[in-house]
Structure 1
Amino acid sequence: MNIGLSLKLKLKVTSDQAERLKTLMMIYRNACNEVSHYYFDHHFRLNQVQLHDRLYNKLRRDYALKSQAAQSVLLTVLARYRSVRTQLSHERVQNGWKLNTNGNPLLDTKGHPIPVFTCKTLDHLWKPIQFARPQADLVFNRDYSFLSDGTLSLNTMGKRIKVSYSTKGFKQYLNQDWKLGTAKLVQRRGKFFLHIGATKEVPDFETQNVKHVAGLDRGLRFLVTGYDEKGKTLFINGKEIMHTRSKYKKLRGQLQAKGTYSAKRRLRKIGQREKRWMADINHQISKALVAHYGANTLFTLEDLTGVRFATEKVSKDRRYEQVSWAFYQLEQFLTYKARLNQSEVIKVDAHYTSQRCPKCGKINKDHRRHETHEYVCENCGTRSNDDRIGAMNIQLLGTQYVSGVAAPHFEKD
C-alpha cells in the first residue's frame, strides 16, 4: 500500500526573492480564476485535453506563464472542481415524490407523501469557484528541486531562484524512500511555505503478523481509552484540553461582542491558532499510541460516522466544547503513523460497544451510569469505568477481525 504525507517546508527568502514569489503566486491565482470561469461557463463538460487545446496558448500569452505552469493551472482548477463535486455528492436535495402505478404519490405509515432525494452535482453551483488566496503549484524536478548544496531551486516568472529552507520535523522524509510530488507554494503571516506531497510504498498489513490488538474508545472526558489483549488499560485524559477549549471560546465571545474590524481580524487568527493547537494535540496522541503499543499492532476504532458526543444533556454554553473535537483528524494521523510502524487501523461497528458487558455479553443501556461514568452489569456484577468497558468491547471486535470475521459487530438478543 502507499502512504501519503504533506511535508511543510519553511522557506528562507530575501526581499527580492519574496517579491518574485508573490508575483508568481498572484499571476497563478488570476490564471486559475480565468480557467475556473471558462470551465463554469461551459457547464463542466470539458476534460483536461479540451481545456488544454482551448486555453493553453492563452495562458502562455496573457499571463506569461511557462509551459509547466500553464499546465499546472489547468490541473489545479480541475482538481478543485473534482473536490467540490465529491463534497456535493454527500448532500441530497428533494427531487419530487415516489409515485405508484397510477402516478399518485406513495404515502408512508403516517399518510405523508414519500419524497425522492438525489445527490447534488456541480450544476448546483451558482457561480464559478473563486481562488482567493495567491498560490502556485510546482512540479517536482521541473518547478522545484533540491540541490546538493542543501538549497532549494524554485521556478518563478523569470529566472529560477535558490532559497534556503527549514526541514524541522520533516528531514527524515526527504530521502530516496519517499517519492515527492507536486508542491503548493503558499504564504502565511508574511512567511513562505512549500507544502510537498510525498508517498511511500509499504508492505500490506497481514493479520497473521499481529502481535497486539488494541481497542481504542474515543470520547471527551478521556480523549482516548485503550485496552489490549493483556488486559492493560491506557487513559489519555481530556480535562486540560477541554479547559483550554473553554478559554478559546470565552476569548472568541469577548471579541464577537466588540464587533470591531480589529476584533474580527483577531478572531480569524484565534480560529487558525486553535486548529493548529488541536492538530498538534492529535499528533502527540497518535504518536504516543504508536510508541506505546509498538509494531505489528492492530488498532481498532469505532466507526463514528454520524456520531455526536452528546450522550448527556449538556447546557448550551458548554455545547461547543462537548461536540467539536477533531476525532476524524486523530484517526487520520493514527492511520499513517501506524502504517509507518508496520501496524494498521481498522474501524468496526459502534453499535452496543458502550452498552455490552464484556464479561457476560449482556446488552443493556441502563447498565451505563453517565452521572458517575461507570458501567455496572446487573447480570454478572461486572463494574468498571464506562470508557474502559467501551474499549474492552472494541478490542474484542478487533480480535474477531484477526480471527477472520470480515465485519465484526455485536447484536442484541
Structure 2
Amino acid sequence: GTAKLVNACGHWFLHIPVTFDVDELDNSQINHVVGIDRGLRFIATCYDEKGKTLFVNGKKVLETRCRYKKLRAELQAKGTKSAKKRLKKIGQRENRWMTDVNHRLSKTLVNHYGKNTLFVLEDLTSVTFDTTKNRRKDNRYEHSSWAFYQLEQFLAYKAQLKHSKVIEVSAQYTSQRCPKCGRINKENRNHSLHLYRCDRCGYSSNDDRIASMNIQYLGTEYVTGNPKPRFISK
C-alpha cells in the first residue's frame, strides 16, 4: 500500500496500510452465539448460549456527551468567529473520543468471547427514525447521533481477525417478545422502569437483557440454517 507520514500532537507517525487474507468462519465451526443489544443506558447488553449476560454501562459516555452538548450550545449562542472556530475543534474532538470508545468496546467484546464466535446485532437501518422521533426532545440528539453503525464496523473486522463473525438480524419484536414462552406484546415492556414482564408466563427481566436474549435466539436460528431469521407476530 501507500505509506503516509503524519504529524500529530508533536509526534510523527508513519501509517502503512496492510492487506492480508483471513479464513472465513463456517457455521459448523461456531462455538459461541452472542446476542448484542445496542443502546445508550447500556452501550451493549450481551447474552450468550450459556445464559450469561454482560452489561456495558453507558453512564459515563452519556455524561461526557452531555458536557459536549452543553458546550456546543453555549458556543452557538455566542455566534462569534472565535466561537465557531472552537465549535469545529470540539466537534472533531468528540468524534475522536466516540471512535476511541467504539474501538475499545469492540476489542473488549472480541477478546472476551474468543474465537469461533457469532456476534448477532439488530439491523437498525429501518428503525432509527421511528425510535428517535418517539423519544423526548432533550435526549433525541444523544440517541440519533451515537455511532452505532461504527461500533458494528469495528466489531466486524476485529471479529474476523479472531476467526469470528458478525451478522445482522431483523430488529422487529426483539424488545416485545418474551424469550421464555414466545409471547409478543409491546405492553409488557415498561420503558420508565426498564423492565419487561410477560403477561402470559410471568417471566420478567431488564428490558435490554430481554432484547439481547431474543437477538441471541435469532442467531441460533441462523446457525441451524435459517439465513434470515426473524420474529413474526401471530
| Paired position in structure 2 for 1:214 | 34
More relative contact order in 1 or in 2 (CA 8 Å, sep 6+)?
Answer: 2
Report the CA distance between 1:322 and its aligned residue. 2.5
One-letter identity of the residue aligned with 1:249? K
**Which of 15, 19, 22 is the equivalent residue of 1:199?**
19
**Which of 216, 222, 225 is the equivalent residue of 1:401?**
222
**Which of 113, 127, 135 is the equivalent residue of 1:307?**
127
| Paired position in structure 1 for 2:43 | 223
Structure number with bigger Rg: 1
Give the distance between the partners of 2:11 and 2:82, measured in 1 at CA.
Answer: 21
Q: Which secondary structure state, in structure 2, belongs to the residue aligned with residue 390 of structure 1?
A: helix
Report the CA distance between 1:220 and its aligned residue. 1.1
One-letter identity of the residue aligned with 1:334? L
Give the distance between the partners of 1:311 and 1:266, measured in 2 at CA.
Answer: 30
Give the distance between the partners of 2:86 and 2:52, measured in 1 at CA.
Answer: 45
**Which of 149, 153, 163 is the equivalent residue of 1:332?**
153
With over 3 angstroms needed to count, the CA separation of the structure-2 counterparts of 1:264 and 1:327, relative to structure 1, is same
Q: Which secondary structure state, in structure 2, belongs to the residue aligned with residue 201 of structure 1?
A: coil
**Alignment RMSD, CA only?**
1.8
Report the CA distance between 1:375 and its aligned residue. 0.7
Report the CA distance between 1:291 and its aligned residue. 1.3
With over 3 angstroms needed to count, the CA separation of the structure-2 counterparts of 1:375 and 1:327, relative to structure 1, is same
> In the TM superposition, what are the counterparts of 1:94-243 in structure 2 within 5 Å?
181-184=1-4, 194-243=14-63
Q: Which secondary structure state, in structure 2, belongs to the residue aligned with residue 214 of structure 1?
A: strand
- Unpaired runs of 5+ in structure 1? 1-180
Deviations 1:55-84 (A, max 9, x none): xxxxxxxxxxxxxxxxxxxxxxxxxxxxxx
Report the CA distance between 1:203 and its aligned residue. 0.8
Matched-pair contact (CA < 8 Å) for 1:312–1:370? no
Matched-pair contact (CA < 8 Å) for 2:133–2:140? no
**Which of 377, 392, 395 is the equivalent residue of 2:198?**
377
With over 3 angstroms needed to count, the CA separation of the structure-2 counterparts of 1:300 and 1:273, relative to structure 1, is same
| Paired position in structure 2 for 1:352 | 173
Q: TM-score, normalised by structure 2?
A: 0.93
Report the CA distance between 1:333 and its aligned residue. 0.6
With over 3 angstroms needed to count, the CA separation of the structure-2 counterparts of 1:215 and 1:362, relative to structure 1, is same
Report the CA distance between 1:385 and its aligned residue. 0.4
Establish whether residue 318 from structure 1 lines up as the match of residue 153 from structure 2: no
One-letter identity of the residue aligned with 2:154? F
Report the CA distance between 1:307 and its aligned residue. 2.5
Report the CA distance between 1:197 and its aligned residue. 2.9
**Which of 188, 207, 212 is the equivalent residue of 1:367?**
188
| Paired position in structure 2 for 1:288 | 108
One-letter identity of the residue aligned with 2:20? K
- Unpaired runs of 5+ in structure 2? none
Identity of aligned residues (%): 62
Report the CA distance between 1:194 and its aligned residue. 4.8
One-letter identity of the residue aligned with 2:68? Y
Establish whether residue 392 from structure 1 lines up as the match of residue 210 from structure 2: no
| Paired position in structure 2 for 1:255 | 75
Report the CA distance between 1:190 and its aligned residue. 7.7
Matched-pair contact (CA < 8 Å) for 1:283–1:333? yes
Give the distance between the partners of 1:392 and 1:406, measured in 2 at CA.
Answer: 19
Report the CA distance between 1:204 and its aligned residue. 1.5
> In the TM superposition, what are the counterparts of 1:33-112 in structure 2 within 5 Å?
none
Give the distance between the partners of 2:27 and 2:175, measured in 1 at CA.
Answer: 26
With over 3 angstroms needed to count, the CA separation of the structure-2 counterparts of 1:375 and 1:312, relative to structure 1, is farther
Count matched residues: 232
| Paired position in structure 1 for 2:86 | 266
One-letter identity of the residue aligned with 1:320? Y
The structure carrying a bigger helix percent of its residues is: 2
One-letter identity of the residue aligned with 2:132? A
Deviations 1:84-126 (A, max 9, x none): xxxxxxxxxxxxxxxxxxxxxxxxxxxxxxxxxxxxxxxxxxx
Matched-pair contact (CA < 8 Å) for 2:103–2:151? yes
Give the distance between the partners of 1:330 and 1:227, measured in 2 at CA.
Answer: 17
Give the distance between the partners of 1:238 and 1:312, measured in 2 at CA.
Answer: 21
Report the CA distance between 1:290 and its aligned residue. 0.8
Give the distance between the partners of 1:219 and 1:386, measured in 2 at CA.
Answer: 11
